[in-house]
Structure 1
Amino acid sequence: MHRISVAIVDHHPITLEAIVSVIGRNADLELLGTGSAVPDILQLATDCKPDILIVEVGMPGNAFEAITSVVSSVPTVKVVAFTGVVGVATAIRALDAGAVGFVLKAAQSCELIEAIEAVVRGENYITRSFASQVIAGLRDETLRRKAAAIINLTIREEQIVKLLVRGNTNKEIAARLKLSDKTVKHYMTILMQKMNARNRLEVVVAAQKMQDSNFGAHTLN
C-alpha cells in the first residue's frame, strides 16, 4: 500500500516537533522533510514533491503567496494550512491561495490525520468546529470582492457607482455627469470587471456593502 508522503513547514520548533511525532506514529504516513521559514515552502515542494505539504500560514513572510507558487509550480502537491490564527479571513485567504485543507492548531492530532487523508482522496477539509463559519464566509462573494474592487476605482468611477446606488439609470448618470450614453456603458463594463460582477445589479450590491467604509473621498458636485 502506498504511504502518504508529508512535508511540514512551521516556524515554531515545539509545534514542528509535535507534528513530526504525530506523523511518525502513523504507519500510513511518511515524513519527507521539514522547514521553518516561508522560503522552505516552495523549496520542499519542489525538492521532495510530497503528497501533502502542511504549512503554518501565520509565520513571518507571505506564506499565502508561497502556497500559490506551490500550487502553480508543483500541482501534485496538496497544501494543508495549519495555524493558530482563528479567523475566517485567514481561512478564506489560505483557501483562495490554493490550500485544500485548513486545520486549527487547537484541534486534536487525529483531526490533522483526518485532514491529510481527506485531501489525498481529493476532498477539501476544514476544521470541524470552524467549518460552518468559513463556508458562510466563502458564500459571501460580494464581501470577498470588496478589498480588491473599490481600491482601484477612479474618481469618475466612484461618481458613477454612487449614482448607481441611488437608483439612477445610465441615461440619468450620463446627464448628471455630462457624459455620453456610450461612455457610461463603457464605464459600466469596467466596473463589472473590477468588481467581478456579472451585471448591473451585482455592481450595485457590491457598492452598497462598501459604501460606508470606502466611499466618500470624492463627492459629487
Structure 2
Amino acid sequence: MDDHPVVCDGVRALVAGTDIEVVGSAGSARDAVVQARALQPDLVLLDLRLPDMLGSEALPRLTAVAPAAKVVIFTAYDDHAALSAALRAGAHGCLLKDVTDTDLVAQLRRVAAGVRVIDPRLQESSGSLLQARLFRLSLSRREYEVVRLAATGRTNPEIAEELGLTRNTVKTYLQTAMQKLGARNRVEAVRRAQEEQLL
C-alpha cells in the first residue's frame, strides 16, 4: 500500500516470476483497509507515510479486517520517528525501499514464514536519532506523543483518551511543545515537528 504508483509498479516487477503474487494495491490507508477486507492478503507492504494517515495508524485497522495478514513497513525514511510506533503497533517487519530485488523477495519470504525482519540500518538509527532530536529540542516523550497524535488530526479529547490523560494535561503538553518548537498554534507545531523529522 503506497501512494506512489511507481513504487507499486516497481514491487510488481520485482516479484514477477516468483512465488509471490501481488493481489492488490492502494494509494491511501482507507482504500487499503477496504481492499484488505475483500482480498484477505497473507502479506501487506505498507508505506510509512500515506496521504490520510501514518502507517503506524493504519496498521491496526488493517489487521482488524485481515487478522492473518503480516504487515511489513516499506519506507524510504530510515530515521523516521514513526518507525518505532509502527513496530510497537505490531508490524512484522520494516524494509527500506532501496532493497534489491533479490533481497525484497527473500525478506518477504522470511516474513511469510513468521520471521520478524528489520533492515539493520533501521535498528541502528531510528530510536537513537529520535531521542537525539527530542533531546536537542528539549521535548519530553509525552510532548512528542501529543504532537504526533495531533498531526494525525486527533482532537485534544481524542488524544487524552488514547494516552490516558486528562484534557487539561493534553492542552498543557501541547502548549509547552508549541513553545519549544517555536510555534504559535498546533498547525505550526506539526509543521515544525515535520521539519525536525519527528513525524
* TM-score, with structure 1 as normaliser: 0.56
| Distance (whole Å) between structure 2 residues aligned to residue 116 and residue 33 of structure 1 | 16
Percent identity of equivalent pairs: 23
Root-mean-square deviation (CA, aligned residues, Å) is 3.6
Residues 77-105 of structure 1, C-alpha deviations (whole Å, 9 max, x = no match): 11111111221523112212221111111
| Counterpart contact for 1:11–1:37, Cα < 8 Å | yes
Q: What secondary structure, in the 3-state scheme, does the structure 2 residue paired with 1:30 have?
A: coil
Give the Cα separation in 1 of the matches to 2:29 and 2:117.
22
Q: Distance in 1 between matches of 2:10 and 2:145?
A: 43
Contact kept? 1:107, 1:127, Cα under 8 Å: no
The gaps in structure 1 that reach 5 residues or longer are: 1-8, 152-192, 196-212, 215-221
Alpha-carbon distance in structure 2 between the residues aligned to 1:114 and 1:134: 23
What is aligned with 1:49? 40
- Counterpart for residue 181 of structure 2: none
State the alpha-carbon separation in 2 of the partners of residues 150 and 61 from structure 1. Answer: 18
Give the one of 106, 109, 115 matched to 1:123. 115
Unaligned runs of 5+ in 2: 147-162, 166-175, 178-199
Amino acid at match of 2:38: D
From 85, 92, 105, the counterpart of 2:97: 105
Q: What is the match of residue 94 of structure 1? A: 86
More strand by share: 1
Between the aligned partners of 2:109 and 2:47, the Cα distance in structure 1 is 18
The higher relative CO (CA closer than 8 Å, separation ≥ 6) is in: 2
The residue identity in structure 2 corresponding to 1:30 is E
SS at match of 2:45: strand
Q: Which residue of structure 1 aligns with residue 51 of structure 2?
A: 60
SS at the partner of 2:99? coil
One-letter amino acid of the counterpart of residue 42, structure 1: V
In 2, the alpha carbon distance for the partners of 1:149 and 1:99 equals 21
Letter in 2 for 1:54: L
**Conserved? CA contact 1:78–1:99, under 8 Å:** yes
Query: In 2, Cα distance between the equivalents of 1:133 and 1:86?
Result: 7
Amino acid in the other structure paired with 2:24: G
Q: CA deviation at 1:70?
A: 1.6
Q: TM-score with structure 2 length normalisation?
A: 0.61
Q: How far, CA to CA, are the matches of 1:56 and 1:22 in structure 2? A: 17
Q: CA contact under 8 A between 1:58 and 1:85: conserved in structure 2?
A: no
Residue by residue over 1:129-174, the C-alpha shift from the partner in whole angstroms, topping out at 9 and shown as x without a partner, is 3333347689xxxx9x9227996xxxxxxxxxxxxxxxxxxxxxxx
Which structure has the greater CA radius of gyration? 1
Give the corresponding residue for 2:142. Answer: 147
